[in-house]
Amino acid sequence: MIVFNYESDFKLENETKTSDWIQTCIKKEGFELGELNYIFCNDEYLHKINVEFLNHDTLTDIISFDYTLGKLVGGDIFVSVERVEDNAKDFNVSFESELHRVIIHGVLHYMKYKDKTEEEKEIMRSKENECLELLNQ
């Protein structure tokens, strides 16, 4: 089950399409959907979580709490819509494209993809791109 929660004025345009897409990406990687909660918020909201739970006094676009058990993907994914907007401008991509990249990025972490080293970042970016292609089909 995928639940979308909103702590700001932002709302996804098509929750059903987004949910179906996320499930397709999960299945493609050989995993099953457990319970995913997306919480869309602003910088202030996410910064507070970053400080309180991770001891990081920085802004970020996403924080995820992984509850995956084996092949059953689950977790809470907090997304700062403000950071996504700024990053889209910085990367010269559409807001929707950057939003979808962030949405699937958290799930890919739950499926054991990392992004600490350059090699891991390349693999993560490749997986993000594969999933983004599925969204546009």
Domain holding 62, by residue range, is 2-135
CATH number of the structural domain spanning residue 129: 3.40.390.30
Going from the C-alpha of 39 to that of each of 11, 15, 92, 114, the distances in angstroms are 11, 13, 25, 22
- Give per-residue pLDDT as tens, 58-99: 888 999 999 999 999 999 999 999 999 999 999 999 999 999
Task: Supply angle C-alpha 109, 130, 62, rounded to 5.
Answer: 35
Q: Is 66 annotated as a binding residue?
A: no
Question: Which own/partner contact pairs does 119-127 have at CB distance under 8 Å and 24+ positions apart?
Answer: 127/29
Q: Is 115 annotated as a binding residue?
A: yes
9 annotated ligand-binding residue:
no
Tell me the pLDDT tens digit for each residue of 19-54: 999 999 999 999 999 999 999 999 999 999 989 888
For the chain, the domain total comes to 1
Four-point Cα dihedral 5, 68, 110, 74, nearest 10: -20
Computed over its alpha carbons, how large is the radius of gyration of the chain?
14
